[in-house]
C-alpha cells in the first residue's frame, strides 16, 4: 500500500483570458456527414506546383533580384518540380522580363510547365499572355475573390457580378491566348480566391460557370485551385470542403483539383494532407513554407512526410542543406533551426534518455545489417527519436548527439565511439559522464565532441605521476613474466618484475612489489584503427588501495602494443587515485 496522500482538492480553476475573445466567431464548416476522407490514405505524390517565385516572392521584404529568381528556378528544376509559377508578369517590368528571360534563354525544360498569375482585368490578362509568347508549355492562372466579405468590402459586387467577373476573365484569357499563344501547349487555371471562406456551393457555382466557358475535356483539362487564402479553421473542415467540391463540381474527370493552403493557424501541412485524402490531385506551396504572412504550405515537409511513409515524393531532397542554403540566399530569410527535416537541430538530441535510445538504436541497426551481410543504408529504417535517416537527406550522424547539462552517459559514449573510436565499457561510461557533468555544471552550455575528448584525455590519459617507460612480457606454460620500467611517485625509472597468469595480472604483481595495491575488477580492449600501425585501447576497472581507503576507479591506456596499453590503463587508474588523494589532502 502506498504511503503518500493522493490529491483531495479540486483541480485549480483556470482564469478567463483578459483578451477580447468575444470579438471572434467560430468558423462554420460545410456539412458533409457522409465524408469518406478520414479512412483514406495518401499512396502517391500529388502533382506539385512551386509558387516560390510568385506567392513566395510577393511576400518577401526584398523581392528576389532577377539573379536570385534564376537561382531559385534552377533549384526547383533540379529538385524535380514540373509545374512552377514563375511570377505575376503584369505586376512589374521586372516580373515580365524574368518570364521573357526564361523563355528566350531556353531555361525551361520541355517537360516543365511555367505558370503566371493575373487578376481578372483585361489589360493585365493581355500583358500576361504577351509574357508567355514562345513558351513551350504554359498556364495562365486567373483569380478573383469569391468570399462574401471580399465581394462586400473589396469589390462591392453581388454574387452574380462575381460569377460574371470570373466568366469574363476566362473569356479574355482564351481570347488573348488565341491571339498570342497558339504555338504554346496552353493550360488554364482558375482560383476562387478565399475559397475556404466562400460558401462551397457558391464556389462550385463560379467554377462551373468558368468550366462552361473553358469546356474541359479529355485533352483539355482545367485546374481549379482552391485556396485557403487565409487559414481560418481546423484541417478537417478544409478536407470536408474539398470532398464536397470534388463530389459536386461538373466535369470532375477533366478537372485537376488543386490545394493552395496558407499556414495562418500553423496547420497548413495537415490541411493539405487531409485535402489530398479528400480527393485533391495537386498541391501548390513553397519550399520551407515561404509566402504571405505565415506562409504557404511547406513543400519540403509535405514531400518528406510522404517519404517517411515509403511513398515516393517525386522530389529530390537528398541534399537538403544545399536546398536550404539556396533558398536562404534567394529569399534572404533563415530557415528555423527546428524546421521539420531541414533545421539545424532536428536530428540532434541533447537529452540523456533520447541519446541513450538513439545510440542503442543505431548500434542495433548496425548489428542487424552486419548479420544480414548488408549496410544500414539498405536496411528498413527504424530508430528511436529519428523519424528519418539523416543520411537520406545528406546529413551525417555527427550532429545526432550533442552534449550539455541535460545529457547522460549515452551521449558522451556515442561521441567517444563515433568521433574518436573509443568504445567505453558501460561502467566507465557512467564514471566518465559524472566527470563531464561536473564540467557542464560549472561551465554551462554545450560541450563539443572535441572538448569531451580533451576532458577524457585529461582525466584518463594524463601520465602523472606513474609513467610507463618500457615494458616486455614472456610466457611459458600459461605463466606470464613481465618486466617494465616505470616512473613512480617518488622515483624515476623503477625496474619492475612480476608473474601472473596473464600480462595484466603479472603487471599487477610487479606493482604490488613496489607497494602499489591494485586489484583488477574488469577489463576490456579493442583496436583503435585498422591497418599495420593500429593502436589499441585498454580499459581496466581497478580497486586501488586496501581496506577502508580502497577506491574503485577506471583507467585507460592507448598504445600500439596491447600489453603496454593494458599496463598504461592500470597506471592511469593509479594516477587517478593519486589525484583523488591529493585533492582530498588539499581539501583537508
Ligand atoms: C491571394 C494572392 O496572393 S493574390 C495575388 C496578389 N499578388 C499581387 O497583388 C502582386 C502583384 N500585384 C500588383 O503588382 C498590383 O496589384 C497590380 C499591378 C496587379 C494591380 O495594381 P493596381 O491597378 O494599382 O491595383 P491594386 O494593386 O490597388 O489592386 C486593387 C484593385 O484590383 C481589384 N482586384 C483585386 N483583385 C482582383 C482580381 N482578382 N480581379 C479583378 N480585379 C481585382 C480590386 O478590386 C481593386 O480595384 P479598385 O482599384 O477598382 O478598387
Ligand atoms: C492567387 C491565389 C491562388 C492565392 O495565392 C491565394 O488565394 O492564396
Ligand atoms: Mg496564396
Bridge partners, 189 (sequence order): 141, 223
Calculate mean pLDDT across residues 449-465: 93
474-481 mean pLDDT: 91
Query: Averaged over 84-95, what is the pLDDT?
Result: 97
What's the CATH number where 411 sits?
Answer: 1.10.287.1400
Q: What is the pLDDT averaged over residues 87-100?
A: 97
Angle made by CA atoms 287, 292, 298, in degrees to the nearest 5: 25
Query: Per the domain annotation, does 370 fall within a domain?
Result: yes
pTM for this model (two decimals)? 0.87
Count the residues in the chain: 588
pLDDT at res. 536: 95
What's the domain range around 356?
A: 352-447
Res. 328: pLDDT tops 60? yes
CA-based nearest residue to 270, from 247, 298, 241? 298
With the most atoms of ligand 1 within 8 angstroms of its CB, the residue from 119, 193, 291 to mutate is: 119
Out of 267, 298, 331, a domain closes at 331
Q: What is the ipTM of this complex?
A: 0.98
**Number of domains comprising the chain:** 3
pLDDT surpassing 90 at residue 463: no
What CATH number does residue 576 fall under?
3.30.160.270
Is there a single domain that holds both residue 413 and residue 559? no
Q: Are 146 and 114 in contact (CB under 8 A)?
A: no
Distance of CA 492 to the CA centre of its chain: 56
Q: Are residues 229 and 365 in the same domain?
A: no
Give the confidence band of 442 by pLDDT, cuts at 50, 70, 90. confident
Q: Say whether both 426 and 317 belong to one domain.
A: no
Interstrand relation of 536-544 and 518-527 (parallel, antiparallel or unpaired): antiparallel
What nine digits make up the cell of 42?
495518401
- Distance from C-alpha of 83 to C-alpha of 526, rounded to nearest angstrom: 55
What pLDDT score does 2 carry?
A: 72
396 lies in some domain? yes
Which pLDDT does position 6 carry in this prediction? 78
Ligand 2 closest atom vs CA 54: 5
Higher pLDDT, 244 or 405: 244
Is residue 405 a part of any domain in this protein? Answer: yes
In the prediction, which pLDDT does 531 show?
65
* Ligand 2 nearest-atom number relative to CA 195: 7
Residues 471 and 518 in one domain: yes
**578 confidence band (pLDDT: 50, 70, 90):** confident
Mean pLDDT of 116-125: 98
Residue 201 region, left (φ>0) first, then alpha (ψ -120 to 50), else beta? alpha
- Answer yes or no: do 84 and 175 share one domain: yes
On whether both 252 and 166 belong to a single domain, the answer is yes
Tell whether the model's pLDDT for residue 588 goes beyond 50.
no
Residue showing cell 613512480: 488
Report pLDDT digits (tens) over 235-264: 999 999 999 999 999 999 999 999 999 999
Domain boundary among 277, 301, 331: 331
Within a domain: 24? no
Average pLDDT on 181-203 reads 98
Average pLDDT of 508-520? 93
CATH at residue 174: 3.20.20.70
Q: Using an 8 Å Cβ cutoff, are 118 and 90 in contact?
A: yes
Same domain, 384 and 530: no
Q: Which of 44-58, 184-198, 273-287, 386-400 has the lowest mean pLDDT?
A: 386-400
55 is in an annotated binding site: yes
pLDDT band at 348 (very low <50, low <70, confident <90, very high): very high
* 338 in a structural domain: no
All cell numbers assigned to 479: 605463466
Last residue of a domain, one of 447, 476, 510: 447
End-to-end, the C-alpha distance of the chain in Å comes to 46
412 in a structural domain: yes
Share of the chain above pLDDT 70, in %: 98
Predicted local confidence at residue 587, as pLDDT: 45
**Ligand 3 centre and the CA of 52: distance in Å?**
10
Report which protein residue has its CA nearest ligand 2's atom 1: 143
Please list, residue by residue across 79-113, b when 16 or more beta carbons sit within 10 angstroms of its beta carbon and e when fewer do: bebbbbbbbbbbbeeebbebbbebbeeeebeeebb
Q: How far is the CA of 120 from the centre of ligand 1 (A)?
A: 9
Pairing status of strand 222-228 against strand 255-261: parallel
Position 521 in a domain: yes
For residues 432 and 545, membership in a common domain is answered with no
Q: Please indicate, yes or no, whether residues 439 and 478 belong to a single structural domain of this protein.
A: no
pLDDT in tens, 258-274: 999 999 999 999 999 99
Q: Cα Rg for the chain, rounded, in angstroms?
A: 35
Contact 128, 90 (CB under 8 A): yes
Distance, CA of 429 to CA of 471 (rounded, Å): 28
Same domain, 127 and 254: yes
Question: Average pLDDT of 378-387?
Answer: 96
In this structure, the answer to whether residues 180 and 221 fall within a common structural domain is: yes
Residue found under cell 498569375: 117
Place of cell 532577377: 66
Q: Is the pLDDT of residue 584 over 70?
A: no
Could you tell me if residue 435 is inside a domain?
yes
Residue 404 reports pLDDT greater than 90:
no
Pocket of ligand 1 (CB under 6 A): 55, 58, 88, 90-91, 119-121, 124, 143-144, 154-155, 193, 229, 292
Q: What is the pLDDT of residue 147?
A: 98
Q: Is 522 marked as binding a ligand? A: no
296 is in an annotated binding site: yes
State pLDDT tens for residues 50-71.
999 999 999 999 999 999 999 9
DSSP 8-state assignment for residue 21: G
97 is in an annotated binding site: no
Q: How far is the CA of 114 from the centre of ligand 1 (A)?
A: 21
- In this prediction, residue 410 carries a pLDDT of 86
What is the best residue among 52, 53, 55 to mutate for testing ligand 2's pocket, by most ligand atoms within 8 Å of CB? Answer: 55
Tell me what percent of the residues of the chain surpass a pLDDT of 90: 86
Model pLDDT, residue 474? 93
280 & 404 share domain: no
The mean pLDDT of the chain is 94
Question: Is the Cα dihedral 19, 25, 30, 32 positive or negative?
Answer: positive
Amino acid at each position: 500500500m502506498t504511503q503518500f496522500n493522493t490529491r483531495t482538492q479540486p483541480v485549480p480553476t483556470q482564469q478567463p483570458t483578459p483578451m477580447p475573445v468575444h470579438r471572434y466567431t467560430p468558423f462554420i464548416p460545410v456539412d458533409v456527414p457522409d465524408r469518406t476522407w478520414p479512412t483514406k490514405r495518401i499512396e502517391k505524390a500529388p502533382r506539385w506546383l512551386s509558387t516560390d517565385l510568385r506567392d513566395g516572392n510577393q511576400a518577401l521584404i526584398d523581392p528576389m533580384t532577377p539573379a536570385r529568381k534564376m537561382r531559385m528556378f534552377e533549384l526547383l528544376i533540379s529538385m524535380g518540380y514540373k509545374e512552377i509559377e514563375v511570377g505575376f508578369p503584369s505586376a512589374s517590368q521586372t516580373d515580365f522580363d524574368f518570364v521573357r528571360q526564361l523563355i528566350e534563354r531556353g531555361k525551361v525544360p520541355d517537360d516543365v510547365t511555367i505558370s503566371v498569375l493575373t487578376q481578372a482585368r483585361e489589360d493585365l490578362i493581355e500583358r500576361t499572355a504577351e509574357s508567355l509568347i514562345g513558351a513551350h508549355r504554359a498556364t495562365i492562372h486567373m483569380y478573383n475573390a469569391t468570399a462574401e466579405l471580399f465581394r462586400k468590402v473589396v469589390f462591392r459586387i453581388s454574387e452574380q457580378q462575381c460569377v460574371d467577373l470570373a466568366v469574363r476573365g476566362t473569356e479574355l484569357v482564351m481570347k488573348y491566348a488565341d491571339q498570342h499563344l497558339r504555338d504554346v501547349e496552353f493550360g488554364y487555371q482558375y482560383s476562387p480566391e478565399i475559397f475556404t471562406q466562400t460558401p462551397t456551393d457558391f464556389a462550385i457555382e463560379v467554377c462551373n460557370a468558368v468550366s462552361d466557358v473553358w469546356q474541359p475535356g479529355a485533352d483539355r483539362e482545367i485546374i481549379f485551385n482552391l485556396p485557403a487564402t487565409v487559414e481560418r479553421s481546423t484541417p478537417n473542415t478544409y478536407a470536408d470542403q474539398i470532398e464536397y467540391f470534388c463530389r459536386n463540381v461538373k466535369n470532375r474527370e477533366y478537372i485537376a483539383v488543386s490545394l493552395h493552403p496558407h499556414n495562418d493557424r500553423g496547420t497548413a501541412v495537415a490541411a493539405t494532407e487531409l485535402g489530398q485524402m479528400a480527393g485533391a490531385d495537386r498541391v501548390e506551396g513553397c519550399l520551407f513554407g515561404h509566402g504571405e504572412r505565415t506562409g504557404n504550405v511547406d513543400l519540403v515537409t509535405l514531400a518528406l512526410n510522404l517519404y517517411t511513409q515509403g511513398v515516393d515524393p517525386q522530389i529530390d531532397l537528398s541534399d537538403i542543406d544545399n536546398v536550404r542554403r539556396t533558398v536562404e540566399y534567394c529569399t534572404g530569410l533563415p530557415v528555423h533551426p527546428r524546421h521539420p527535416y531541414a533545421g539545424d537541430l532536428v536530428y540532434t538530441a541533447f537529452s540523456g534518455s533520447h541519446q541513450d535510445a538513439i545510440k542503442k538504436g543505431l548500434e542495433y541497426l548496425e548489428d542487424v545489417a552486419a548479420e544480414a551481410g548488408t549496410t544500414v543504408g539498405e536496411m528498413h529504417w527504424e530508430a528511436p527519436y529519428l523519424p528519418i535517416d539523416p543520411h537520406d537527406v545528406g546529413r551525417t550522424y555527427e550532429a545526432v548527439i550533442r552534449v550539455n547539462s541535460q545529457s547522460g552517459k549515452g551521449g558522451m559514449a556515442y561521441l567517444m565511439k563515433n568521433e574518436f573510436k573509443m568504445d567505453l565499457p558501460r561502467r566507465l561510461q557512467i564514471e566518465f559522464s559524472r566527470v563531464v557533468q561536473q564540467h557542464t555544471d560549472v561551465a554551462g552550455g554545450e560541450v563539443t565532441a572535441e572538448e569531451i575528448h580533451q576532458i577524457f584525455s585529461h582525466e584518463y590519459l594524463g601520465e602523472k605521476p606513474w609513467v610507463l617507460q618500457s615494458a616486455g612480457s614472456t610466457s611459458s606454460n600459461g605463466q606470464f613474466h613481465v618486466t617494465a620500467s616505470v616512473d613512480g611517485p617518488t622515483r624515476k625509472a623503477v625496474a619492475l618484475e612480476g608473474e601472473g597468469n596473464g600480462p595484466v595480472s603479472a603487471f599487477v604483481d610487479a606493482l604490488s612489489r613496489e607497494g602499489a595495491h591494485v586489484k583488477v575488477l574488469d577489463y576490456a580492449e579493442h583496436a583503435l584503427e585498422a591497418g599495420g600501425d593500429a593502436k589499441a585501447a585498454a580499459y581496466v576497472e581497478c580497486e586501488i588501495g586496501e581496506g577502508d581507503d580502497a577506491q574503485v576507479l577506471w583507467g585507460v591506456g592507448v598504445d600500439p602494443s596491447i600489453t603496454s596499453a593494458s599496463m598504461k590503463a592500470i597506471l592511469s587508474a593509479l594516477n587517478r587515485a593519486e589525484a583523488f588523494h591529493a585533492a582530498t589532502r588539499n581539501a583537508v
